[in-house]
Amino acid sequence: MKAKLFSLSLLFVAIISGSLYGQVIPVGKNATAEQVISTIIKNTGCNIIPNTVDVIKEGDPKTPVTGIITCMFATMDVLKEAVSRKCNLIIVHEPLYYNHLDATENLRNDPVFLEKRKFITDNKLVIWRFHDYIHSMRPDGIEMGMINKLGWKDFVAKGTTNQFVIPETTLKELLKTLKQVFPKNAFYVVGNPDMKLTNVRLAEGAPGSTTHIRLLEDKKSEVILAGESPQWETYEYMRDAVSQGNNKAIIFLGHVSSEEAGMDYCSTWLKGFIKDIPVSYIECGPAFWSF
């Protein structure tokens, strides 16, 4: 057993250092934003992804990088903190300007958009989205972060990063555990609080109700830890499933909470090959609060 645990520890060290993704390529001290980004993509070990959203959203690619911030969203608070830390390359997981492709045609006269863009321009920041590639890493970088956040390293089903076999518990007790991990969160839950469970699946972000339903159809899936879904879709499917007596449940963590730990993991991973440029993670948390 000790040997097995030691092997697992070595596996996670190797994953974080980047050695399981491909050849580790270092980044030089005076590298530009485009050089850093190119090196990051190479270190993922992924093939080039066509039509990716992982492009520079704002800023000059030739900008020498003074420091790197990883985050879920480049909120105004995150941008201001990055400037205070003298970091000018902001690596985000999600869009900068409020829609998946960061289309700004309808925002050209919007004061919120204009002020945010002005702040980025005035401070010579470079914003790069790291979404498709980090999810394409094997293992998935976002899911690795969630494993660390949940503390479920020992419960991961072999060969996966989103399936867990936990000691038998009830839905109610699982929620108490999750509340300790996400103390500021409120969860949306569909399911019998007294149901017993051992098999949990992670469906981070917003994969769509088709994915949620496919996972729930799997006999090995008892509870889904989900990001978000329109309330007329997965929620209503689950309401009917529970009413029919199925031993199933879904817990909506919220989009940010279901993925943000992955960008913390990203920061640690980057430090494995970026040695001469400061790298740090800034948590932005959910955009709303619950009353």
Domain boundaries, the chain: 2-138+259-281, 147-253
CA distance 280 to 84: 13
Residue from 191, 275, 196, 199 nearest 234 by CA: 191
Task: Judge whether residue 284 has pLDDT over 90.
Answer: yes
Query: H or E element: which one contains 13?
Result: helix 2-17
The model's pTM: 0.90
Q: Is the peptide bond before 193 cis (omega within 30 degrees of 0)?
A: no
Q: Write the CB contacts of 260 (distance below 8 Å, at least 6 apart in sequence).
A: 72, 93, 145, 283, 284, 285
State how far the Cα of 218 lies from the Cα of 237, in Å rounded to an integer: 15
Query: What average pLDDT does the chain have?
Result: 92
What's the confidence (pLDDT) of residue 18? 52
CATH 3.40.630.30 assigned to domain 2-138+259-281? The reply is: no
CATH architecture for segment(s) 147-253: 3-Layer(aba) Sandwich (3.40)
Q: 2-138+259-281 with 147-253: one CATH topology? A: yes
pLDDT for residue 274: 95
| Average pLDDT estimate for 60-77 | 98
